[in-house]
């Protein structure tokens, strides 16, 4: 599969967050090298409609006991069809089978479809004082890129 096709999904999905994040952040895409590395490690899931990618999820392992959902996007033309739900279910199953005790992510606190959506899967807010150094680093990186940390939240879905 041509990983370059995933950038258009990332950009299209980012447009849904216009007004919630700086335009330069919304126009960021994951590099092909990073996606290829994730693919080789088994940490990239791509949803297809026929042969065309319509969504993807990318996980990074930053801590020995938790996988981090770095990115999940579904092209708006294919939204509300369960694609994101299937991607998250696949990641949670993969993480549990691989021996991780949790999956973490960051999302918008005040965008109606973000935090509540992840809560449906068992993700809960991680209090700031409980952030690991790896998660704290992600929050700091987001702030450096222009995302307001007061509008962001770290969530974790844990099963042990």
Q: Per residue of the chain (160 residues), give pLDDT as tens.
A: 799 999 999 999 999 999 999 999 999 999 999 999 999 999 999 999 999 999 999 999 999 999 999 999 999 999 989 999 999 999 999 999 999 999 999 999 999 889 999 999 999 999 999 999 999 999 999 999 999 999 999 999 999 6
* Sign of the dihedral through C-alpha 80, 83, 84, 89: positive
Fold of the 5-158 domain:
Aminopeptidase (3.40.630)
The residues spanned by each domain of the chain are: 5-158
Are the C-beta atoms of 51 and 60 separated by less than 8 Å?
no
Dihedral sign of CA atoms 6, 12, 15, 17 in order: negative
This prediction has a pTM of: 0.95
Question: Within 13 Å, how many C-alpha atoms sit on residue 100's CB side?
Answer: 23
| 33 Cβ contact partners less than 8 Å away, ≥ 6 residues apart | none
Query: E strands, the chain, where?
Result: 44-49, 52-63, 66-74, 102-108, 124-125, 152-158
């Amino acid at each position: 599969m041509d990983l370059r096709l995933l950038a258009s999904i990332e950009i299209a999905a980012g447009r849904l967050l216009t007004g919630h994040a700086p335009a330069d952040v919304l126009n960021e895409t994951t590099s092909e090298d990073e996606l290829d590395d994730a693919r080789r490690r088994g940490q990239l899931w791509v949803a297809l409609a026929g042969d065309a990618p319509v969504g993807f999820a990318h996980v990074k392992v930053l801590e020995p006991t938790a996988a981090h959902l770095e990115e999940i996007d579904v092209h708006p033309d294919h939204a509300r069809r369960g694609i994101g739900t299937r991607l998250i279910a696949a990641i949670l199953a993969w993480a549990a089978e691989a021996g991780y005790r949790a999956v973490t992510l960051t999302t918008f606190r005040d965008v109606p479809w973000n935090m509540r959506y992840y809560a449906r899967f068992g993700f809960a807010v991680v209090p700031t004082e409980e952030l690991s150094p790896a998660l704290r680093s992600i929050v700091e990186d987001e702030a450096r890129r222009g995302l307001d940390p007061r509008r962001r939240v770290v969530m974790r879905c844990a099963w042990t």
